[in-house]
Amino acid sequence: MNIGILTSGGDCPGLNAVIRGAVRKGVRETGDTFVGLKDGWRGLLEADYAPLTTHDVRGISGRGGTILGTSRTHPYSQGGPDQMKRVMKEHNIDAIIAIGGEGTLAGAARLADDEGMPVVGVPKTIDNDLNNTDYTFGFDTAASIATESLDALRTTAESHHRCMVVEVMGRNVGWIALHAGMAGGAQAVLLPEFPVPYEQIYTWVRSARDRGRAPIVVVAEGFVSEDLDDQVSDAGRDKHGRVRLGGVANHLAPLIEEATGVETRATILGHLQRGGSPTAYDRVLATRLGMAAVELVHHKKWGYMTSLSGVDITSVQMALAVDNLKKVPQSRWDELQVLLG
């Protein structure tokens, strides 16, 4: 089979490992050929692609980003499914492996289920917010980068007896904040799923200060205090009208300093969490998911994606992975409480 691979949506550590795993599996075991579709769905809509051989993918599993490029081109733009089908027929592309997050997989599911297109998916997101997979590749790397940043900031916080407010990514879910906060020993962890009032944040900071600690506050970008009505944003809206999050740490820092008397600084990690080399865990997970995607293609399981269940790679319908966000459950929030303050 001649299989097209695309990466769509936000970039993520581990994308190249998926590509490598799929190509090596298909070429070596099932005699497939591959083409890399450039910049997500745009490459398929515009027939912009290049061959992918084992030579092209050698040594890329440790590289961040994606060798194929990515974009947020909507699969129903520029002629949509009809145009894609024409391109696939004219260029002898038998199936598509779509690697992406919630938006990409929702589009891929629609193409497979409603349009009858031969599409399978591989889930990626640093936010770890997709249903029906225990973890997504990219999350471990993002959480590790955030944790390393907390470790670095703690040394300067302790030197100056300051409080540090560290903002991490997480528009709707707080998995990165939760894991980085626990790993980095933060005294306050603020998640979108569990709003708390300002006074609770101040109490955690005062408790750490009174024990001689330099308080560390980790906040997900989408956190909204019980005292606010809307998410905090310094950057307005994007071209699609969606709020560009970022700035909740800058919002909280002066409030904490005024309420507690502890000198407070804010740091926004931003896209640092998306970049760099993937961790060993993410490289292995991404490689296994990519190899399994080739098996889905040969079993003609259109509309399905590869998934992690425990330590096993399985498959689930893409539509079931994007029907609801996988949020931090109450049980994880409850166990965190003993570590705060």
The residue ranges of every structural domain in the chain are 2-137+278-323, 139-274
In CATH terms, are 2-137+278-323 and 139-274 the same topology?
yes
Residue in 234, 98, 225, 214 with CA at minimum distance from that of residue 158? 214
Binding site as annotated, residues: 10, 72-73, 101-104, 125-127, 162, 169-171, 221, 265, 271-274
Distance CA 208, CA 188 (A): 9
Over 90: is that where the pLDDT of 337 sits? yes
Per-residue confidence (pLDDT) for residue 123, from 0 to 100: 95
Choose the catalytic residue: 32, 127, 129, 282: 127
The token duo for 316 is: 């689930």
Cα distances from 208 to residues 227, 257, 268, in angstroms, run 23, 14, 22
Over 70: is that where the pLDDT of 7 sits? yes
Q: Give the confidence band of 119 by pLDDT, cuts at 50, 70, 90.
A: very high
Per CATH, the number for 2-137+278-323 is 3.40.50.450
Q: Span 297-318, mean pLDDT?
A: 97
Running DSSP on this structure, what letter comes out for residue 7?
E
Per-residue confidence (pLDDT) for residue 240, from 0 to 100: 61
Per-residue confidence (pLDDT) for residue 279, from 0 to 100: 97
141 near 276, Cβ under 8 Å? yes
111 near 118, Cβ under 8 Å? no
Per-residue confidence (pLDDT) for residue 239, from 0 to 100: 63
Binding site as annotated, residues for ATP: 10, 72-73, 101-104
Q: What is the rounded average pLDDT for all residues in the chain?
A: 94
Per-residue confidence (pLDDT) for residue 326, from 0 to 100: 94
Least confident interval from 50-54, 69-73, 250-254, 264-268 = 69-73
84 near 117, Cβ under 8 Å? yes
Per-residue confidence (pLDDT) for residue 245, from 0 to 100: 79
Binding site as annotated, residues for Mg(2+): 102
Over 70: is that where the pLDDT of 143 sits? yes
Please tell me the pTM assigned to this model.
0.93
Instruction: Please write the tens of the pLDDT for every residue from 206-215.
Output: 999 999 999 9
Active-site residue 127, yes or no?
Answer: yes
Per-residue confidence (pLDDT) for residue 229, from 0 to 100: 74
Q: Give the confidence band of 328 by pLDDT, cuts at 50, 70, 90.
A: very high
Over 80: is that where the pLDDT of 244 sits? no
| CATH H-level superfamily of 139-274 | Phosphofructokinase domain (3.40.50.460)
Q: Span 296-323, mean pLDDT?
A: 95
Distance CA 137, CA 98 (A): 15
Instruction: Please write the tens of the pLDDT for every residue from 160-194.
Output: 999 999 999 998 999 999 999 999 999 999 999 99
Per-residue confidence (pLDDT) for residue 235, from 0 to 100: 67
Per-residue confidence (pLDDT) for residue 238, from 0 to 100: 64
User: Percentage of the chain surpassing pLDDT 70?
Assistant: 97
